[in-house]
Structure 1
């Protein structure tokens, strides 16, 4: 299958302090960095990015541990997959491409990386869009039965003793496709070529180990970092978009929660579930173009 990005996107690898980050770049104008979530790659943006590239320089990356980026072996404390480390990668990538200030849009895990980037390097961000999340600290500190059932994978992937790694390695395609199909509600169907790429990348044992470390970090070192920043509100303008048929839309007052973490918050729900850039790409692109300016 052909990778579903138009030929105008050029690929390159950027060395971020020894971690090679896979990038796809197109367009001209103000820079916008788009970050993907789990269990996907930069290709979640394959519908949105060409629309945004009409008036922006669009940079799509694979987060460390995902896609065709490097996958450092996790240490015992999973610090390699702290959102602080993942955010620093992205800052170095954009600097290497010549951009000291840029907008960021992140979906799922990528939105958590974007949130950390806004806390650690506020001078670099012109705008931050977070798709279908509320902050990590809020989710853990308000976890209940609904969260445990709806987001069971947060706890499964963070389990130790190699349990999730062994089970996922036995059926990576089933895991990826089951996760995605369970959280899709109408709109544009998933592109089979994109799904095949997600499966190809995720089936790498190093990617499975890295993604589990990502979730373990969320429940440990990331939570420590977030609690240390409790009371700080990011000043970067923030756009929150979420799926009205998903867990986030059904269980949180998204804007009210983000207003506890940021000073300038706006946003709205879209008619979809979790995978906004693939389910409602035209609406996502229009919202980002208006917000990024």
Structure 2
């Protein structure tokens, strides 16, 4: 599945990042989550392209971007390393400053990008997440059951890689259908694209390293703290675990000075379940 945008692969150091660019106006970087690719934005991106230059990327390890072999430390999949990739893409496209929106893992990359490079990120939108540090510090039984994949994917000894690798299509469809809250149905072509990309053993390995990094080196980076200086918009699904569990705005106010946001009529996958509402909220935020 390809969007009606211009595709290219951008070299940023040791990796090549797959990206699609479309529209005109101020630049906006859109990043996906697990287990998707840039295709999660297939409804939203064309709407935003009417007012912005929209850049869609596959995070390292996902989609058609490079998938470095993880080291024991998983440093290759720290959010800091992934954020540097995204900064490199935007700079090579000629954008010194830009707006950022990230869903799920992409929101965590966006958070780190904004902390490390506040001179580049003029506004940050995070979709259906609270900060990684807060999540681990407040993990309980409900979190362990609702977000069991955080711990399963971070397990060692090749366990998740082997089990997922036996039937990646089942894993993708099971994860996504269990977190859909009655909004617009998933596009079968998008699901097929996620399955295609995730059927690569290197993608499975990389995604596990992503979650292992979140439980280790990302927490080390987060320990230094830091308050975001740019405006932050938090959007979440009213039926999602995040929406049911956290006071999302109050949590983010401990991490950012200017926080706004709202729940949307969806579960976890806002850009696919509630694209009109997602696009409208992002457009308003990025033009204010």
TM range (shorter): over 0.9
- Compute the displacement of 1:186 (Å): 1.2
**Any conservation in 2 of the 1:4–1:193 contact (CA below 8 Å)?**
no
Structure 2 CA distance for aligned equivalents of residues 188 and 236 of structure 1: 32
Match of 1:5 in 2: 3
Q: Does 1:19 align with 2:3?
A: no
1:123 counterpart SS class: coil
State the alpha-carbon separation in 1 of the partners of residues 271 and 28 from structure 2. Answer: 15
Instruction: Indicate the residue corresponding to 2:73 in structure 1.
Output: 77
Judge conservation of contact 1:243–1:271 (CA < 8 Å) in 2. yes
Q: Which runs of 4+ in 1 moved over 2 A?
A: none
The residue number in structure 1 matching 2:227 is: 233
Alpha-carbon offset, residue 85 of structure 1: 0.1
Indicate whether 1:278 and 2:276 are aligned: no
Structure 2: distance between partners of 1:270 and 1:28: 27
Alignment correspondent of 1:266: 260
Whole-angstrom CA distance in 1 between matches of 2:2 and 2:55: 15
Match of 2:159 in 1: 163
- List aligned pairs for 1:9-88, cutoff 5 A: 9-88=5-84
CA contact (8 A) 1:135 1:258 kept: yes
184-193 or 74-83, larger mean C-alpha shift: 184-193
Gap runs ≥5 in structure 1: none
Match of 1:120 among 108, 116, 120: 116
Q: Distance in 1 between matches of 2:165 and 2:143?
A: 25
The residue correspondences of 1:130-141 to structure 2 (distance < 5 A) are 130-141=126-137
Q: Following TM superposition, by how much is the alpha carbon of 1:268 offset from its aligned partner in structure 2, in angstroms?
A: 0.3
Structure-1 separation of matches of 2:2 and 2:203: 21
Q: Which residue of 2 aligns with 1:210?
A: 206
1:99-152 deviation line (CA, Å, top 9, x unaligned): 000000000000000000010000001110000000000000010000000000
Work out the CA distance in 2 between the residues paired with 1:80 and 1:18: 10
* SS of the residue 2:102 aligns to: strand
1:4 Cα offset (Å):
5.0
The equivalent of 1:96 in structure 2 is: 92
Q: How big is the alpha-carbon RMSD for the aligned residues of Structure 1 and Structure 2?
A: 0.6
CA distance in 1, matches of 2:150, 2:253: 24
Aligned residues: 287
1:245 aligns with 2:242: no
Question: Could you tell me whether the CA contact under 8 Å between 1:4 and 1:194 is conserved in 2?
Answer: no
- Any idea what SS the aligned residue of 1:186 has? coil
Give the CA deviation at 1:18.
2.3
